[in-house]
Each structure stands twice: as structure tokens, then as C-alpha cells.
Amino acid sequence: MSSETGRSSGIASRISGAAGRAGGAALDRLTTVTGPINRVLQPLANVYNRLIGGYFGEMNGLQFVLVVGTLVGLLTAPFWGNYALIQAMIAASIWAILAMGWDIQSGYTGYISFGHSVLSGGAGYTTAMLIHNVNPELPMLVTIPVSVLAALGIGLLIALPSLRLSGPYFSLITFVAVLIFYRMMNPLSEYTGGETGLAGVEKIFDITEPVQSYYLFLLPMLAVAVALLIVARSNIGLILLAIRENESAVEAAGINATKFKIWSFMLSSIPMGIGGVLLAHRFGGVDPGSFIVVDNSIEMIAMAVVGGMGSILGPLGGAFFIILMEDIVLHAFGLDAQLRWAILWIIVLLILVFARQGLFRKLWYGLERLGGDRR
């Protein structure tokens, strides 16, 4: 089995190598224009670099503009977007949390988990089941922490037995975890609502006040992004990356890799729990098809990979990209639902093949190159 770190081989690498060089040459020519722009913006970026660059990594001027611009855009979206866009961005915020949560574990350690939908689904279902079976009046202050704890608990349950196994077997166990949870829905349908799920969860999205509601989803997402970035840039993140590259070396250095693998799973369970809770509160209920099914895990993975695995911000971008494509862009053409999905999958496939490092990583490195003036 060839290396898993993404080095191309054979014809693929020759083609993409050639394309890369051609593209690179074009970028270099552009630097006569963009270089100066970058130099103009660099001081701004340097203020940031001095202040908090140590936590998040440093940026050049163009990258700084990208980040700030996106941030401004996200924060002001209700003022320039229409209703459908706000709905899509709320959905994207929730999925971004899920994709980032997946990334800190799978993207960083390289242990690909298909079972993350169980974590978010577990949290969502905990909320709904508490409301349905225990007390419909339970305040969110109670249900939310309990649900996130439930996600942690499920995460521990899955992680402990499986992380001592190597790559593909770990992935298989996580896949089976989803199947098992799904199968449990119907026999326990009195508590779980079977395949129609449960309703009655308080909706935090007020349909006549979309602006306020929007921030209830965006801000947690940004908080999760910041928190995960800090973790990813810290020593823990380094160790996780090292595990992905060469686990034996990590062990040889005296670090207990399994402990850190479990840590990463625990760490990722928290945003998964938050995401699951937000999803349940968005529409006021849960059902297996929207929460548990393995399709959801695959969607998270696709978002993370499209954006750029192992970078936290990549999956964030990937989530927004896919959801906005799905809900806004493709709808504009008025096609049959099946064709819309087919086109979306083709786009994702093209990205997977030709930009396997992820769209946003490519963008990031592209901006770095456009900044000219290398170190």
C-alpha cells in the first residue's frame, strides 16, 4: 500500500506537476501586480502577526485580507443577503462545526472516522429524548450540557476499543458504530421515535427574526473554529500531525500515541456535540435520516476534504462551499433535483482529483505565492 500522505505517482503526478508548474509560472507573473498590493497590506498583517500570530500562524497581507474579508462578510451577511442565503449560511455554520470537529480528529491523526455522525446524532437525540421522555419543560441550560456530555461518552465508548487498532480497522469500527446506532432506532422506538424521529425541541430559529437567529449559529461556530485552531497549533496538534505522518516515530520518541489518539477523539466529540445540539434546535426535532445515517458522516468527510483536511479552516470553508453550492448556486439553474445532486458530486469529484490538498489550502498557498517576495 502506498504512502497515505498524498504524494502523487505516475501519470497523475506528471500531469498535475506540469499543470502546477504552468499555474505557478502564471502566478509568478501575476506577482508583479499582486506583490505591491501585498506589501501595502503587510503592515496590517504584521500587527496581527505580532499580537496573536503565535497562536494561529502568521499571514501575509493578501491572506490577511482574505481572512478579515471573510470574517466581515460572515458577520454582516444578514445585511446583504436574502432569506434563502441566511438559511443556507445557518446550515453551513452547523455543518462547519461538524466538519471542523471531524477534522481535528481524523484530519490530524489520519485515522479516518466514519462514525462522527453518531457523536452529533447522539447529542441531538439526547436533547430530543430528554424533552420527550423526561420533561418537556427542561431548560436548554440543562439539556445542552447533558447532550454534549453524551457525545463525549459515546466518543469514549467508540474510541477506547477501536483506537488501539490500526487505520482501516479503526475506520471500519466507526462505520459499524453508525450501523448499530441506526439499527437501535426502531426496536427502541418508544424512546427514540423510530424512523419518524422526535419533535418538540425548542426552536432557536425564529422565522420572523432571521437576523438575530443567524448569530445564534454563527458565533458558536466562530468560537469553535478559534478554539480548535488554538489546539491545532499547539503542541497537541503537532503530536497529532506527527501520528499521521509516522506513528512509530512518535512512539519511539516516548510519546504514548494511543493516549493522544483517544484525546483527539474526545476533543472532537465536543464540537460534534455542540453541532448536534444546534441541529436539533434549528428544526425542532430529530430523525434518524438527518442525524444518524452514515451519509451524514460521509458528507462531513467530503466537506473537510474538499476544503483541505488537517487545517480546521479548510473544513470550515469546505462546509460553506458545499452547502452554498447545494442550496444556492445549483438551484439557480432550475434543474431537476437528481441532476443538481449529480452536478454537485461531479464538482466534488473534480476537486478531489485535481485539488486533493483541498480548495482552501490551494487558495491559501496561492495567495502566499502571489505575495511575491519569498522569505
Site for another protein in 92-131 (CB under 8 A): 112
DSSP secondary structure code for residue 286 in this structure: E
Burial of 25 (0-12, 13-18, 19+ CB in 10 A): exposed
Residues 6+ apart with CB under 8 A from 291: 117, 120, 121, 124, 125, 197, 276, 279, 280
Q: Is 197 in the site for another protein (CB under 8 A)?
A: yes
Which region among 85-93, 123-131, 150-158, 259-267 touches another protein (by CB under 8 A)?
A: 85-93
Q: Is 161 in the site for another protein (CB under 8 A)?
A: yes
Task: Give the residue, chosen from 139, 187, 254, 334, that forms a contact with another protein under the rule CB under 8 A.
Answer: 187
Q: Is 199 in the site for another protein (CB under 8 A)?
A: yes
Q: Is 29 in the site for another protein (CB under 8 A)?
A: no
Q: Is 179 in the site for another protein (CB under 8 A)?
A: yes
**Which residue, 225 or 348, has its beta carbon nearer to another protein?**
348
**Residue 256: what are its φ and ψ, rounded to 5°?**
-80, 100
Q: Is 156 in the site for another protein (CB under 8 A)?
A: no
Tell me the DSSP string of 129-189: HIIIII-TT--HHHHHHHHHHHHHHHHHHHHHHHTTS-HHHHHHHHHHHHHHHHHHHTTTH
Task: Give the residue, chosen from 19, 211, 219, 249, that forms a contact with another protein under the rule CB under 8 A.
Answer: 211
**Which residue, 66 or 227, has its beta carbon nearer to another protein?**
66
Q: Restricting to residues 246-305, which ones interact with another protein according to CB under 8 A? A: 282-285, 287, 289-290, 298, 301-302, 305
Minimum distance, C-beta of residue 165 to another protein, in the bound complex (Å): 6
**Which residue, 227 or 347, has its beta carbon nearer to another protein?**
347
Task: Give the residue, chosen from 22, 24, 156, 195, that forms a contact with another protein under the rule CB under 8 A.
Answer: 195
Distance CA 119, CA 156 (A): 10
Residues 6+ apart with CB under 8 A from 34: 62, 370, 371, 372
Lay out the site mask for another protein across 38-57 (x = CB under 8 A, - = otherwise).
-xx-xxx-x-----------
The H-or-E segment that residue 285 falls in is: strand 285-286
Q: Is 2 in the site for another protein (CB under 8 A)?
A: yes
Task: Give the residue, chosen from 19, 21, 36, 83, that forms a contact with another protein under the rule CB under 8 A.
Answer: 83
Minimum distance, C-beta of residue 223 to another protein, in the bound complex (Å): 23
Minimum distance, C-beta of residue 148 to another protein, in the bound complex (Å): 21
Which region among 20-28, 118-126, 143-151, 336-344 touches another protein (by CB under 8 A)?
A: 336-344
CB-CB neighbours of 130 under 10 Å: 18
Yes or no: say if 90 and 214 are a contact pair by the CB < 8 Å rule.
Answer: yes
Q: Restricting to residues 337-366, which ones interact with another protein according to CB under 8 A? A: 337-339, 341-342, 345-346, 348-349, 352-353, 356
Minimum distance, C-beta of residue 92 to another protein, in the bound complex (Å): 12
Q: Is 334 in the site for another protein (CB under 8 A)?
A: no
Task: Give the residue, chosen from 37, 138, 146, 172, that forms a contact with another protein under the rule CB under 8 A.
Answer: 172
345, amino acid identity: W
**Which residue, 197 or 271, has its beta carbon nearer to another protein?**
197
The total number of residues shown for the chain amounts to 375
**What is the signed CA dihedral for 336, 337, 341, 342, rounded to 10 degrees?**
-30
Q: Restricting to residues 61-80, which ones interact with another protein according to CB under 8 A? A: 72, 76, 78-80
Which region among 139-147, 201-209, 232-240, 257-265 touches another protein (by CB under 8 A)?
A: 201-209
Yes or no: say if 315 and 103 are a contact pair by the CB < 8 Å rule.
Answer: yes
Distance CA 6, CA 357 (A): 8
Distance CA 146, CA 141 (A): 9
Distance CA 78, CA 210 (A): 8
